[in-house]
Amino acid sequence: MSVEVVMPQMGESITEGTVSKWLKQVGEQVEKDEPLLEISTDKVDAEVPAPSAGILLEIRANEGETVEVGTAVGILGEEGEATVQSPKSNAQSQAETIKIEEPKVEQPEIVEQAQTAEISNNSANSENSANSTEVVMPQMGESITEGTVSKWLKAVGDEIEKDEPLLEISTDKVDAEVPSPVAGTLLAINVNEGETVEVGAVVGLVGVKGTSTSGSKTSTAGQAQAEQSTAKAMGASVSTAKTVSMPAEEKREIKETEGRSYDYQRPEAIQDAQSNGKSNGELSVEELRRTKSSPLVRNIAKEHGVDISRIDGSGMSGRVTKKDILSFIESGAALRPQDLLVGKISAPILTTPPRNLQSAIPHPQSANDRVESMSVMRKKIAEHMTFSKQTSAHVTSVYEFDMTNVAKFRNKNKAEFQTCYGTKLSYMPFIFQAVTQALRQFPIVNSQVSGDQIIYKGDVNLGMAVALDWGLIVPIIKRADTLSLSGLALAANDLADRARTKKLMPDEVQGGTFTITNPGVFGGLFGTPIINQPQVAILCVGTIEKRPKVLTTPDGDDYIVVRSMAYFALTYDHRVVDGADAEKFLAFMKEYLETTQFSL
């Protein structure tokens, strides 16, 4: 017996929910209590488990559709079983009583063509599946739902070994190489460079040379033809329906009812896209995120004039939740220029310009100019940096450190360290250790801001900025305050090496509480870096070089000596970190590095 899957009651005040994602497709087997779909409400995002084991026979609410609590969104049952019918609404019943169907026009030749194409395609797919293996977009972390193909390392027809890098992908968190699942020939590339697809999507095929890959395309064409045949049959039935003569008001009500019934068959995202002249495949991530947010979130956004695509959603599939948009508004980021003009606020607050502002500014170009699109990583860096400047009140303090004490210890032990651990001993582990000690002394620098609350982080997770040829990434040394000097060196070198070879995992670039950047490696004296949100401070290390320094003898005489010196700049969020705290933090670090008797 078939069983209805209904929109659950997620709270007393919640009357509806939005289907954000189906985790199973029609025809797939599902176990009892296995997650079947994801929903979004005004209060919470959640997974809906299957009420029983069986086959997903029907999907009645497509992704993006919002329905009332208790509505059947899908049907489970045994294969081949007829689905149960939901009770019809009064409007639907009334509409049916006043519609007279003319005899249905059968088109057996169209149905036969579709069935023949389907049988042919199934045969082709069975034959090809034995000789080819799908290359899918991998799952790089629990919160990552999609990836962008940044570069194909092989061309169609190239030979490839098992586990040999086949393509490079880029996600919100990390760039990585995807190895070939088998040895063979790259038969097909389904996703071109620059295209973004969901996790699990087939991006290419690897198999025996000469194997046909047209099966999947033919199958898609056959499916489309079958759908067109069904649509034509439905269209004929609808077009031949007649309305019994009645008052004009009743006719209008029936027309509206039919319109709602027709719209119900399409996801909300597709409706919005079609109204804008776009197909579902042409929707950007931001547009999908906007259309799949709950009605409450969209209403709040409309009321405050907020573009939802500006907000990083924390909900499932990256959707913006009620908490996300309220936090965004409370931060002041949602204030619009017109609010300043009418005196709605007492002090001017800068807002982020519209995303399409740059395109409106003329850019004179010459024949020698080269134009290229931003990579996914570059776009994320741009958004993150702009958001940080808009969020935090940036202030920078600069100190000069005498690194001679560290330089002497490092020069004395670096050869032995290389022999024992197989990696180099740089200046950075000493700086990491000084930072961890300072953060324990001044926990406000290891905090985060949430609305009008300050969260003092229990762990010290150090982010270390690593410059790459294609951008910048910040891997995290987790619980750095528990590591020894040698432990910090090993962890830092390992993370940096894997960052440059695209071997990092998403959780290795998340959860940082304080960031250190080192432009000094390129010769820079110091910089004023931008805070890595949601942190409240970032340390910039300048180049360590020998400079003349004035010192004083115990007797009070001054003399000039050559010392290893460096500038350290701390940029901090003045909303919560006072200048005195920042100065004390840097003074503690200076004392620690200049006087500590280090040990490996």
Helices (H) and strands (E) in the chain, counts: 15, 29
Cα–Cα distance list, 454 to 131, 438, 444, 530 (Å) = 58, 19, 8, 20
Closest of 407, 467, 458 to residue 431, by C-alpha: 407
Q: Return the percent helix, strand and coil in the chain, to nearest 5.
A: 35, 25, 40
Backbone phi, psi, residue 459, to 5°: -100, 155
77 three-class SS: strand
Token pair for 454: 């300050």
Residues 5/39, Cβ–Cβ less than 8 Å = no
Active-site residue (options: 33, 163, 459, 578): 578
Active-site residue (options: 312, 384, 574, 581): 574
What span, in angstroms and rounded, lies between the C-alpha atoms of 139 and 141? 6
Residues 354/348, Cβ–Cβ less than 8 Å = no
> Is 263 one of the annotated active-site residues of the chain?
no
Cα–Cα distance list, 355 to 298, 330, 338, 378, 598 (Å) = 18, 21, 18, 15, 50
421 three-class SS: helix
**Long-range own/partner contacts, residues 312-316 (CB < 8 A, 24 or more apart):** 313/289, 315/20, 315/40, 315/45, 316/20, 316/21, 316/38, 316/40, 316/45, 316/47
What span, in angstroms and rounded, lies between the C-alpha atoms of 424 and 283? 48
> Is 363 one of the annotated active-site residues of the chain?
no
19 DSSP assignment: E
What span, in angstroms and rounded, lies between the C-alpha atoms of 217 and 128? 12
What span, in angstroms and rounded, lies between the C-alpha atoms of 465 and 519? 9
Q: Which residues are catalytic?
A: 574, 578
